[in-house]
């Protein structure tokens, strides 16, 4: 978490500036004191009022608007980190060459704090040797660059240059404060092996159709990132397209059988296994190798059960290993969760009522109850999925035997 950290959020004039609003909100939710600094051009893209309302201080733009004659030096000196999101080619160039044409550029040059730069621009600009040289300069100086992603760009073009997702940007900021000089994060899981599954499995019906579910993998990915921040060696078995940090060993899978194989391959050496994935309980017993045609009439799809991975792990648990299950319920949360906890031989069961607002699949927030086999019950109120991940990992870490 970022409690007490003073973070300058620099927003420059790219179309992606609207995503910085979400970054601002998430940083504030993590406890950071956020100071928004918008360039003149950013004012054409987003309203400063929104940032002023969400951040910890009003928006600043000019070197001359303040009574303080040297706002950039004060801000640069007092910052714990500066995040530029989005960073245009111009701001990247200013930082690389030491130009201080406006408040943001001047503050970036007047700081010794870590800097995170999140470029966003058209592919041609991103790939231009001038921009790439500037990025190489920044990387050499220790600036953290959150690379742009492939995807749709302004004007409908496709390619590399789209601003990274807000969660990726915020994870990069969190990463600055992991461990080290009395950072806010401790290394609770240092030296521990943690396996997390994420996303919803897909079971083929024919080459174009599948049976799936509504899980996006957000909670599982948040667990993997948080476990890594807490010092664990993390293996993430996922069906989701969400990016993950380089520190995480990632295995991409599609079906319940793939997930079963990937989990079985590494489960023996794990200290904590968290089954956050929504694994299909059934799959079509016959997968057609040709597309089923309407002209052949309505098909009858017969199903067969998949392996219950968690129950299998629970039945052959390695001593000292902690197993965590998830349960998405729509009714009788406590009763169903407690039954599932004992049926699957898990140590913890994280249950959420997916019918409640802001909870469960596809949301950025979640509200869960963590049931422990030792009888403890912990309610975690509605919060972002990173905070839920931390609560789950702390509960699991408490059960680990040294
Ligand atoms: N799970 C699993 N393998 C399966 C199905 C589920 O490992 N084939 C795990 C999930 O990852 C989750 C937990 O079991 O951690 C609970 O999943 P859920 O689908 O809620 O449990 P079920 O036993 O399928 O119960 P229900 O009848 O409510 O679907």
User: At which residue do the structure tokens 């929104």 appear?
Assistant: 50
Same domain (yes/no): 142, 269:
no
Same domain (yes/no): 239, 273:
yes
Pick the closest to residue 273 from 386, 393, 384, 191 (CA basis).
Answer: 393
Of all protein residues, the one whose alpha carbon is nearest to atom 25 of ligand 1 is 340
Pick from 176, 209, 231: which residue ends a domain? Answer: 176
- Residues 2 and 79 sit within 8 Å (Cβ to Cβ): no
Ligand 1 near 327 CB (within 6 A) = yes
Pick the closest to residue 277 from 187, 362, 201, 339 (CA basis).
Answer: 201
Same domain (yes/no): 299, 160:
no
What is the structure's pLDDT at 263? 98
Helix (H) or strand (E) holding 327: strand 322-329
Ligand 1 near 308 CB (within 6 A) = yes
Does residue 217 sit within a domain? yes
Ligand 1: which of 308, 355, 371 to mutate, most ligand atoms within 8 Å of CB? Answer: 308
- Residues 16 and 152 sit within 8 Å (Cβ to Cβ): no
- Cα(194)–Cα(247) distance, integer angstroms: 12
What is the structure's pLDDT at 113? 92
Ligand 1: which of 279, 280, 361 to mutate, most ligand atoms within 8 Å of CB? Answer: 279
From the CA of 279, how far away is ligand 1's center (Å)?
Answer: 6
Same domain (yes/no): 26, 135:
yes
Contacts of 272 (CB under 8 A, 6+ apart): 189, 192, 193, 194, 195, 227, 232, 321, 322, 324, 393, 396, 397, 400
Contacts of 380 (CB under 8 A, 6+ apart): 367, 368, 369, 370, 387, 388, 391
What is the structure's pLDDT at 402? 60
Which atom of ligand 1 approaches the CA of 197 most closely? 11
From the CA of 328, how far away is ligand 1's center (Å)?
Answer: 9
User: Residue 361, CB half-sphere, CA atoms under 13 Å: how many?
Assistant: 16
pLDDT tens readout for residues 148-203: 998 888 888 888 899 999 999 999 998 888 754 434 445 789 999 999 999 999 99
Contacts of 156 (CB under 8 A, 6+ apart): none
Ligand 1 near 256 CB (within 6 A) = yes
Instruction: Output the domain CATH number for residue 133.
Output: 3.40.50.1950
Ligand 1: which of 219, 281, 326 to mutate, most ligand atoms within 8 Å of CB? Answer: 281
From the CA of 2, how far away is ligand 1's center (Å)?
Answer: 34
Ligand 1 near 333 CB (within 6 A) = no
Does residue 282 sit within a domain? yes
The residues with which 274 forms a beta bridge, in sequence order, are: 196, 324
- Per the structure, the complete domain to which residue 41 belongs is given by 6-176
What is the structure's pLDDT at 67? 65
Pick from 120, 146, 176: which residue ends a domain? Answer: 176
What is the structure's pLDDT at 181? 41
What is the structure's pLDDT at 182? 37
Does residue 1 sit within a domain? no
From the CA of 33, how far away is ligand 1's center (Å)?
Answer: 40
- Residues 14 and 88 sit within 8 Å (Cβ to Cβ): yes
Which atom of ligand 1 approaches the CA of 343 most closely? 23
Same domain (yes/no): 279, 139:
no
Active-site residue (options: 134, 213, 352, 366): 213
Ligand 1 near 326 CB (within 6 A) = yes
Retrieve residue 292's tokens. Answer: 């089923």
Same domain (yes/no): 106, 168:
yes
Cα Rg of the chain, angstroms: 24
Same domain (yes/no): 95, 241:
no
What is the structure's pLDDT at 185? 45
What is the structure's pLDDT at 183? 41
Ligand 1 near 310 CB (within 6 A) = yes
pLDDT tens readout for residues 342-371: 999 999 999 998 888 777 777 878 889 999
Helix (H) or strand (E) holding 371: strand 365-372
Same domain (yes/no): 289, 393:
yes
From the CA of 398, how far away is ligand 1's center (Å)?
Answer: 24
DSSP codes, 114-162 = -EEEEE---HHHHHSHHHHHHHHHHHHTT-EE---EEEE-GGG-EEEEE
Instruction: Output the domain CATH number for residue 214.
Output: 3.40.50.10300
From the CA of 308, how far away is ligand 1's center (Å)?
Answer: 7
Does residue 161 sit within a domain? yes
Same domain (yes/no): 200, 269:
yes
Does residue 186 sit within a domain? no
Ligand 1: which of 238, 325, 328 to mutate, most ligand atoms within 8 Å of CB? Answer: 325
Low-confidence residues of the chain: pLDDT under 50: 180-185
Does residue 185 sit within a domain? no
SS3 track for 71-83: HHHHHHHHCCEEE
- Residues 19 and 85 sit within 8 Å (Cβ to Cβ): yes
Burial 354-371 (b: 16+ CB within 10 A, else e): beeeebbbebbbbbbbbb
- pTM for the full predicted model: 0.60
What is the structure's pLDDT at 93? 98
Same domain (yes/no): 267, 170:
no
- Cα(47)–Cα(54) distance, integer angstroms: 12
Same domain (yes/no): 136, 254:
no
Does residue 86 sit within a domain? yes
Does residue 367 sit within a domain? yes
Ligand 1 near 281 CB (within 6 A) = yes
Whether 213 sits among the annotated catalytic residues: the reply is yes
Of all protein residues, the one whose alpha carbon is nearest to atom 20 of ligand 1 is 327
Q: How many domains does the chain have?
A: 2
Helix (H) or strand (E) holding 174: helix 166-176
Same domain (yes/no): 119, 260:
no
User: At which residue do the structure tokens 């997968």 appear?
Assistant: 287
From the CA of 309, how far away is ligand 1's center (Å)?
Answer: 8
């Amino acid at each position: 978490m970022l409690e007490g950290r003073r973070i300058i959020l620099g927003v420059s004039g790219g179309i992606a500036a609207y995503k910085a609003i979400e970054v601002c909100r998430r940083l504030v939710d993590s406890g950071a004191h956020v100071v928004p600094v918008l360039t003149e051009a950013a004012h054409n893209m987003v309203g400063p009022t929104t940032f002023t309302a969400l951040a910890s201080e009003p928006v600043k733009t000019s070197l001359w608007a303040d009574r303080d004659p040297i706002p950039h030096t004060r801000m640069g000196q007092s910052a714990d980190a500066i995040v530029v999101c989005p960073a245009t080619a111009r701001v990247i160039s200013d930082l690389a060459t030491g130009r201080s044409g406006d408040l943001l550029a001047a503050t970036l040059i007047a700081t010794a704090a870590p800097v995170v730069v999140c470029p966003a621009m058209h592919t041609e600009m991103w790939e231009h040797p001038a921009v790439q040289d500037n990025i190489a300069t920044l990387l050499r100086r220790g600036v953290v660059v959150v690379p742009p992603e492939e995807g749709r760009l302004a004007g409908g073009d496709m390619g590399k240059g789209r601003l990274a997702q807000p969660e990726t940007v915020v994870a990069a900021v969190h990463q600055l404060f992991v461990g080290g000089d009395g950072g806010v994060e401790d290394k609770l899981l240092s030296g521990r092996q943690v396996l997390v599954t994420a996303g919803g499995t897909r079971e083929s019906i024919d080459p174009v159709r599948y049976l799936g579910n509504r899980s996006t993998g957000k909670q599982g990915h948040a667990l993997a990132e948080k476990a890594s921040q807490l010092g664990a060696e993390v293996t993430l078995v996922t069906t989701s397209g969400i990016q993950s940090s380089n520190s995480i060993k990632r295995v991409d899978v599609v079906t319940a059988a793939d997930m079963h194989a990937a989990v079985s391959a590494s489960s023996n050496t794990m200290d904590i296994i968290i089954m956050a994935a929504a694994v299909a309980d059934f799959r079509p017993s016959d997968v057609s190798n040709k597309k089923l045609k309407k002209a052949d009439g309505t098909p009858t799809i017969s199903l067969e059960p998949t392996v219950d991975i968690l129950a299998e792990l629970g039945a052959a648990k390695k001593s000292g290993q902690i197993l965590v299950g998830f349960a998405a319920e729509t009714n009788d949360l406590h009763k169903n969760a407690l039954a599932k906890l004992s049926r699957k031989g898990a140590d913890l069961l994280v249950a959420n009522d997916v019918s409640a607002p802001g909870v469960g699949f596809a949301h950025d927030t979640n509200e869960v109850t963590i049931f422990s086999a030792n009888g403890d019950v912990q309610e975690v109120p509605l919060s972002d999925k990173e905070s839920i991940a931390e609560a789950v990992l702390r509960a699991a870490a408490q059960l680990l035997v040294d």
